[in-house]
């Protein structure tokens, strides 16, 4: 089973964008992925950015793929996670592309 990390914007988003993270996690688990969801790792909305990133990156490096939610490009944390994933040779899955491909099927 492929382990996949979800990355996307949180800071400044309503509910820290947790609904989008949870929806993606549910869909990916339904497809058979072992999902690492930062919204589950960092459930405390009062936690600081650096503290969260340290936890997230520890989990990210255990994965083989990264799933990038819409708006990830505007998120400092998600951009960092994407750079790490790309540097480690992970499969990069872009939510918009994956969704469009599903609609074609």
pLDDT tens digits, residue range 40-51? Answer: 998 888 889 999
Angle made by CA atoms 59, 60, 65, in degrees to the nearest 5: 135
Instruction: Find the CATH number of the domain harbouring 56.
Output: 3.40.50.450
Query: Which residues, in sequence order, are CB contacts of 95 under 8 Å at separation 6+?
Result: 8, 24, 67, 68, 69, 70
**Given a cut of 60, is residue 104 above it in pLDDT?**
no
Q: How many domains does the chain have?
A: 1
Angle CA 97–62–52, to nearest 5:
85
* pLDDT tens profile 84-101: 999 999 999 999 865 545
pTM of the model: 0.91
Query: Containing domain of residue 81, as a range?
Result: 3-104
């Amino acid at each position: 089973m492929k382990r996949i990390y979800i990355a996307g914007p949180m800071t400044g988003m309503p509910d820290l964008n947790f609904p989008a993270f949870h929806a993606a996690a549910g869909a990916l688990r339904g497809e058979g992925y072992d999902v690492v969801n930062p919204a589950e790792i960092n459930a405390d909305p009062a936690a600081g950015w650096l503290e969260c990133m340290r936890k997230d990156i520890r989990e990210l490096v255990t994965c083989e793929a990264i799933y990038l939610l819409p708006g990830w490009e505007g998120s400092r944390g998600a951009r960092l996670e994407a750079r790490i994933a790309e540097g480690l040779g992970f499969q990069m899955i872009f939510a918009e592309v994956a969704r469009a491909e599903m609609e074609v099927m």
